[in-house]
Amino acid sequence: MSDNKDKRERKASTLAALLEEKPKRGRPPRAVSRQTVYVALSQTQKDRLGELASLLPQGLSRADLPDLAISILSTRFEALRRAVADRDREIPEGVTDLESLYLLWDLSLPTDDPDIKWTSIRVSPQQVIDLGRVHGILNAVFNANRSKTFDLALMLLSQFLHDGNIYDPGEPSTLSELRKKLRAIYL
């Protein structure tokens, strides 16, 4: 009889142990789940991501870099589109290749690094749409792939974070506040 009782207690305690709340492993939960996008990045681009993460304001982390980079890219493209809206164009007439777009925005030209590897970035759903929209334009006009589009976004983010008169790295901020600030600056 006591042997049967011991088995029930052991089963109950095993079930209780399984049902108790345990700390979750892996990525922290976000309000909006992120999607995986694959891009080819060189080691220097990955190092640049680490450098840019150190320039982010309090409250943002390295995981927010792709979202912020794509937000800057889509905002700059929206400003470009508005500038030529009366001419039924997406890009001004003088921009004939991807390099001229870099020069238009005072960015250094990208280098061709032979050591490029595919990697995944985690991006919010709206930024996936924005990246797809800009990639579609750049692909149609300049035959640029998604990796080149994301590299342009990283260059714009680097310019934004290094420009001291636009951005104060000491002020705490959220991703949505930075998006509003971007729209106020560029649009």
**pLDDT tens-digit series, residues 98-156:** 999 999 999 999 888 888 999 999 999 999 999 999 999 999 999 999 999 999 999 99
In the chain the beta strands, taken as DSSP E runs, fall at 35-42, 116-123
Q: Residue 71's closest CA among 137, 166, 145, 154? A: 154
Task: State what percent of residues in the chain have pLDDT above 70.
Answer: 80
**Residue 128 tokens, joined:** 């996936």
pTM of the model: 0.81
* Three-state DSSP class for residue 134: helix
The residue written with tokens 């108790």 in the block is 20
Q: Where are the domains of the chain?
A: 30-186
What CA–CA distances, in Å, run from 49 to 65, 69, 80, 174? 7, 10, 25, 18
Contacts for 31 with CB less than 8 Å, ≥ 6 apart: none
* Tokens read off for 186: 């560029």
User: Which pLDDT belongs to residue 85?
Assistant: 84
